[in-house]
Every structure is written in structure tokens, then in C-alpha cells.
Structure 1
Amino acid sequence: MNPIAKYFLSRAAIIAIVAVPLMFFINALAALAIGLLASMVVGFTLLRRQQLAMIEHIDAAAQRRREEKQRLRAELAGDDA
């Protein structure tokens, strides 16, 4: 599974786990706000490995784009690289 999707789904699950039970006692918007804050706090510790995997995935994609751009520019310039 894509690390970005995995991280997003984990973050959404944390929000749901916190917000849904709170919705029975307080306003739904307030419960979602508390769930979002809890996701931010808990995500720093529990999702650290997933966050690093997501960052590596994004960096690798950016590196591939940079290399492709350099290759295309070299072709346009007439280099045989």
C-alpha cells in the first residue's frame, strides 16, 4: 500500500476513534476538533515510522522527477547523456 495513503488512513482512524464516542456527549463539531487535536498529538509518537516512510516515498518521487527533468533538458540541448 502507498505510504501516503497508509499514513492518511491511520490519521483518519485516530480522529474517528476519539471523535465518535465524544459525539454522544458533546457537539459533533467540537468532537471532531478534539479528535483532530488528539490525532496531532498521538500521531507524533505512534505514527512516526509511517511518517518517515511517507517522507522517503515523497523524496524518492521528487528525485525521480528531477532526474527525468535533467535528462529531458540534456536531450533538448543535444547532449548524448
Structure 2
Amino acid sequence: MNPIAKYFLSRAAILAVVAIPLMFFLNVLNALAIGLLVSMVIGFTVLRRQQLAMIDHIDAGAKRRHEEKQRLRAELAGDDA
């Protein structure tokens, strides 16, 4: 599974686990706001490994695109590289 999707789904699951029970005691917007704050804190601590995998995935894609752009520029300039 894509690390970005995995991280997003994990954060959404934490938000749901926190916010849904709070909706019985608070209005929906307050419950979602509290759930979002709690999911941020939990996400920074518990999901650290997934966050690093997501960052590595994004960096690899950016590096690949940069190398492809350099290769295309070299071809347009007439270099043999």
C-alpha cells in the first residue's frame, strides 16, 4: 500500500476513534476539533515510523522527477549524457 495513503488512513482512523465518542457529549464541530488536535498529537508520536516512510516515498518521487527533468534538458541541449 502507498505510504501516503497508509498514513492518511491511520490519521483518519485515530480522528474517528477520538471524535465519534465525543459526539455523544459535545456538538459535532467541537468533537471534530478536539479529535483533530488529539489525532495530531498521537500522530506525531505513534505514527512516527509511518510518517518517515511517507517522507521517504515523497523524496524518492521528487528525486526521480528531478533526474528525469535533467535528462530531458540534456537531450534538448544536445548533450550525450
TM interval, shorter chain, is over 0.9
1:34-45 pair list within 5 angstroms: 34-45=34-45
2:64 match = 64
- Partner SS for 1:80: coil
Q: Which amino acid aligns with 1:8?
A: F
Q: Following TM superposition, where does structure 1 have runs of at least 4 consecutive aligned residues deviating by more than 4 angstroms?
A: none
2:17 match = 17
Distance, in Å, in 1 between the alignment partners of 2:67 and 2:26 is: 52
Distance, in Å, in 1 between the alignment partners of 2:26 and 2:78 is: 66
Identity %: 84
Distance, in Å, in 1 between the alignment partners of 2:74 and 2:44 is: 42
Q: CA deviation at 1:48?
A: 0.1
For structure 1, the 5+ residue unaligned runs are none
- Partner SS for 2:79: coil
- Partner SS for 2:56: helix
Q: CA deviation at 1:3?
A: 0.2
Q: Which amino acid aligns with 1:42?
A: I
Q: CA deviation at 1:38?
A: 0.2
For structure 2, the 5+ residue unaligned runs are none
TM-score (normalizing by structure 1): 0.99
Distance, in Å, in 1 between the alignment partners of 2:70 and 2:41 is: 40
